Structure 1
Amino acid sequence: MITHWSGQSQELEPIVKFLLAGPGIDVNATHRYKSRTPLSFAAEKGYTAIVKLLLAVPGIDVNAADTFHGTTPLIFAAREGHVAIAKLLLAAPGISVDAPDVHSWAPLSFAAMNGHEAIAKLLLAAPGIDVTAADEHVKTSFRFAVEGGHDAVVKLFLVAVPALDVNAPDARKTTLLSAAAEKGHTAVAKLLLSAPGINVNASNTNGRTPLSFAAEEGHEAIAKLLLAAPGIDVNAGSTGETALTWAVFAGKEAVVQELCACPKIIVDVAVVKRCIEYLPLRHQLAVAASKDDLEKCLRILEKFVESKSKGGGAEDGEGISGG
């Protein structure tokens, strides 16, 4: 049987028909090195007509996975965005809609991470689909869509799965909203913020909140969305490492200004300076702003404290302190 594919589907179709008509043909024969079946290659390449021919053969293994990555035909179709082939495979008797590869990524994971909305919709409608299946890092298909910034797929999940846990954390207890905030996916953040039960202040194992991630990365639009969210705690953060501290540390002037405009902000310049000084080295090497940007942000805080002190301060002088 053909286990190496080149050319167009229409060129290969008569050859496949001829071979399938021959005696003793093994439709599940695997490639010598890649351990992949003809169905696997056809699904990956998008050869719909050939997939249809192969699925009609008695004894076809629709879930055959290669020995290197454990990739099934359905995973190939989902990963590459071949909607027609995904439909054919999902209709095939014995298909396993959740069969994962060696990374514990299922077909839905690949559809989500690549933003293939039509295939994600097909899979979410498949009987027995497990939307909570996660890999070793506790990343679900929904998280892949969020981290990839695929707002159409995120919206699809939110509509198709009413019981979806919008606050589900990963292995480091980082929530979906934090992931969207860190990566700057504004449309996704907006969708999550509109979801019932969303926790806008949820912190991970390091005490990081969605607002602190947005502040550190300088995602002003997301910071504004979060600051406008009901129940937001602008001062949340462990041991003084608030969103304001992270914005100053990363030299994000616009976000610093935005945070200072929040009525409930607590500005203690001395605490901010101390936190910046003692942040872990891994953060200092990866995130720290230039000295000029850092000093500009500190000056913003100092001017803020000075102006509030002269004018009666936030909440009559509470929550402000010089350094």
Structure 2
Amino acid sequence: MKISLRLWTLWLLLAGAVATFADSRLDTALLNAAASGQVTQVKSLLSQGAKVNARDRNGWTPLMRAAEAGHAEVVRALLDNGAKVNVKQKNGWTPLLLAAREAHGEIVKMLLNEKANIQAKHNGRTAFHLAAESGCRECLAALIARRKAGIHEKDKNGATPLILAARGGHAGAVKLLLLNKAKVNERSKDGWTALLAAVQG
């Protein structure tokens, strides 16, 4: 039986649409599994063809979701399957910045070992600022081991990691920064020093 060119073209288009839909469902499932820490499901979906660097409508990847939520096993599985460590979300978030913000020290170390960009910024803040603000001593220790100069950098408001840690009352982070010679008398644009931040914070 002969099939007209028009019908053949239509069949190919429909087949492609079905395949695209199936791929999209796998990718969505992977994003959700990564966010909820389901490492077995993540590995299964990857073996079925889910894209390790798939993005949702806001530019989030499975690695970003897992890094933010603190799922170290999922992060490891994604990295082992080729997840891009320096990918950026629409607003500039990277996996490292998200992990530092949420105080996930193990994941910060994991990402740094995979050459995460330690100088990446979101809204003028580096991982140093975010780790200090969250009080994550483990995060800061890992960051300092890679690039000690980062402890002196100021965010867009002129605040250093030391000022942010002091403002949050994070004694462990403050002590670590001081041990690494963080500048005590630096001032933010609105006049805050680490001491003033500690007193008023």
TM-score, normalised relative to structure 2: 0.82
Superposition CA RMSD, Å: 2.1
Q: For residue 57 of structure 1, what is the aligned residue in structure 2?
A: 48
Q: Which amino acid aligns with 1:40?
A: L
Q: Does the residue aligned with 1:28 lie in a helix, a strand or coil?
A: helix
Q: For residue 12 of structure 2, what is the aligned residue in structure 1?
A: none
Q: For residue 43 of structure 1, what is the aligned residue in structure 2?
A: 34
Distance in 2 (alpha carbons) for counterparts of 1:80 and 1:26: 27
Distance change in 2, residues 1:173/1:49 (3 Å): same
Aligned residue among 88, 100, 110 for 1:112: 100
Amino-acid identity (%): 31
Q: Does the residue aligned with 2:150 lie in a helix, a strand or coil?
A: coil
Q: Which amino acid aligns with 2:24?
A: A
Aligned residue among 118, 122, 128 for 1:142: 128
Q: For residue 200 of structure 2, what is the aligned residue in structure 1?
A: 216
Q: Is the 8 A contact 2:34 2:66 kept in 1?
A: yes
Q: Which amino acid aligns with 2:112?
A: L
- 1:1-323 residue pairs with structure 2 within 5 A? 24=19, 28-30=23-25, 37-58=28-49, 60-67=50-57, 69-93=58-82, 95-127=83-115, 129-136=116-123, 138-159=124-145, 161-196=146-181, 198-217=182-201
Q: Which amino acid aligns with 2:195?
A: L
Q: Is the 8 A contact 2:135 2:165 kept in 1?
A: yes
**Structure 1 portions without partners, runs of 5+:** 1-22, 218-323
Distance in 2 (alpha carbons) for counterparts of 1:74 and 1:44: 9
**Structure 2 portions without partners, runs of 5+:** 1-17
Q: Is the 8 A contact 2:64 2:98 kept in 1?
A: yes
Q: Is the 8 A contact 1:27 1:38 kept in 2?
A: no
Q: Which amino acid aligns with 1:92?
A: N
User: What is the deviation of 1:186?
Assistant: 1.0
Bigger Rg, which one: 1
Q: Is the 8 A contact 1:104 1:135 kept in 2?
A: yes
More helix by share: 2
User: What is the deviation of 1:200?
Assistant: 1.0
User: What is the deviation of 1:26?
Assistant: 5.2
User: What is the deviation of 1:163?
Assistant: 4.1
Distance in 1 (alpha carbons) for counterparts of 2:160 and 2:150: 10
Q: Does the residue aligned with 2:53 lie in a helix, a strand or coil?
A: coil
Q: Which runs of 4+ in 1 moved over 4 A?
A: 23-27
Q: Is the 8 A contact 2:128 2:150 kept in 1?
A: no
TM-score, normalised relative to structure 1: 0.53
Distance in 2 (alpha carbons) for counterparts of 1:139 and 1:171: 7
Q: Is the 8 A contact 1:75 1:106 kept in 2?
A: yes
Q: For residue 269 of structure 1, what is the aligned residue in structure 2?
A: none
User: What is the deviation of 1:207?
Assistant: 2.6
Q: Number of aligned pairs?
A: 184
Q: Is the 8 A contact 1:28 1:38 kept in 2?
A: no
